[in-house]
Amino acid sequence: MQRDLIADAAVTLEGTLAQLQGPQTVDVLKVQQAIIRAAHDFMFKKGLVQLMPLMLSPITDPLNHGVVDAAISYAGSRWSLTKSMIFHKQLTLLNPELEAIYIVSPNVRLEFADRAYTGRHMFEFTQIDFEFRNKDGAFVRSFMEELVQFIFSKVEEELPEVLAKYRPDFLPEIGQLEVFRTEELEAQYGADYEHIKSKEAERPFWLLNHKREFYDKEDPAAPGTYLNYDLIWNEGFGEGLSGGERENEYHQILKRMDETGSDKEAFRHYLEVAKEQGLPYTAGAGFGVERMARYICRIPDINNVTPFSRRPGMPALF
Ligand code: AMP
Ligand code: MG
Per-residue pLDDT of the chain (318 residues; tens, 9 = 90+): 446 778 777 799 999 999 999 999 999 999 999 999 999 999 999 999 999 999 999 999 999 999 999 999 999 999 999 999 999 999 999 999 999 999 999 999 999 999 999 999 999 999 999 999 999 999 999 999 999 999 999 999 999 999 999 999 989 999 999 999 999 999 999 999 999 999 999 999 999 999 999 999 999 999 999 999 999 999 999 999 999 999 999 999 999 999 999 999 999 999 999 999 999 999 999 999 999 999 999 999 999 999 999 999 999 999
DSSP code at position 215: T
Nearest partner of 109 among 316, 317, 310, judged by Cα: 310
Position in ligand 1 atom list of the atom nearest CA 243: 2
Position in ligand 1 atom list of the atom nearest CA 127: 8
CA dihedral (207, 208, 211, 213) positive or negative: positive
CB-defined site of ligand 1, < 6 Å: 84, 109, 111, 121-122, 125, 127, 239-242, 286-288, 290-291, 302
- C-alpha of residue 75 to centroid of ligand 1, in Å: 30
Taking a 5 Å cut-off on Cβ, the residues next to ion ligand 2 are 242
CA 124 from centroid of its chain's CA atoms: 12
- C-alpha of residue 250 to centroid of ligand 1, in Å: 27
pTM, two decimals, is: 0.97
Ligand 1 pocket: which of 120, 124, 141, 207 to mutate (most atoms <8 Å of CB)? 120
Please give the angle made by the CA atoms of 132, 134 and 137, to the nearest 5 degrees.
70
Residues 6+ apart with CB under 8 A from 213: 61, 62, 63, 64, 86, 260
Q: Which long-range contacts (CB under 8 A, 24 or more apart) does 12-15 make?
A: 13/317
β-pairing verdict for 100-108 and 228-233: unpaired
| Euclidean distance between CA atoms 289 and 284, whole angstroms | 16
State the Rg of the chain over Cα: 20
